Amino acid sequence: MSDRVWTDFPNTAFFFRRLENVMGNGTQTVFKPLGAHDYGYQYDYMTISSWTIWVLNTIGNLSIGLPEGLLVLISAMLLNEMNSDGRTHGVSLVHNMQAGFNMYYYFLKNEITWPVFLGVLSELVGDLGAVVEEIVRESRIFYNHSAHLNGIVYGIFFGFFIDFFKNRIKLRPHRFFWVLPTTLFILFLKQFYRNYITNRPSIQRDEGI
């Protein structure tokens, strides 16, 4: 059960609020940039880490190309809004989709720059760190690994689509390409184990970097 406090906050763009000492968990953050989906978390370490990953992957996307980076950001945020049920929260789908776009360039096209590398690295650490945290804390905390997995896959396909549209598909896989499918497989297994083995559903509404 999450300690997240669900209140009927207004569906207003750029709505932001800090909730103090909620259920003994310190400060929670509520942020609705487009009005429906809450990008905040119930713990400050989640907010700081997730938003940092978001910023790094946004910079990585924009370094690839300003139009492409903005298109990925806007598409991901709109998709996040469409998936919102009024109780979901977190920005994981958005920055994982952005990371997938960066991973397409890093792992599949071998086009390596510092902004792209830092975006990819931050996402790998965040996603795999969430898996480790669940194991270490013995399932007292849950992440929506489906949002992480799906976001990365969406971002990779977005990269293919843009390259196809511009007629510039030319793949040169990185020597560490295996890191990408390995990460996706780990995320899939962790979510599958919780959903079908332990019968614990996806809980993006509870937590999810």
Q: Return the minimum-mean-pLDDT range out of 73-82, 105-114, 123-132, 191-200.
A: 191-200
Q: Who wins on pLDDT, 72 or 42?
A: 72
Give CA 63 to chain center in angstroms.
Answer: 19
The model's pTM? 0.87
Alpha-helical regions (H) of the chain: 44-64, 66-82, 92-103, 114-136, 145-165, 179-192
Tokens 């000492």 label which residue? 21
Phi, psi at 17, each rounded to 5°: -155, 145
**Lowest pLDDT segment from 20-34, 44-58, 98-112, 151-165:** 20-34
How far is residue 43's CA from residue 26's CA, in Å, rounded to a whole number?
Answer: 7
Share of the chain above pLDDT 90, in %: 54
Secondary structure in 3-state letters for 105-148: HHHHCCCCCHHHHHHHHHHHHHHHHHHHHHHHCCCCCCCCHHHH
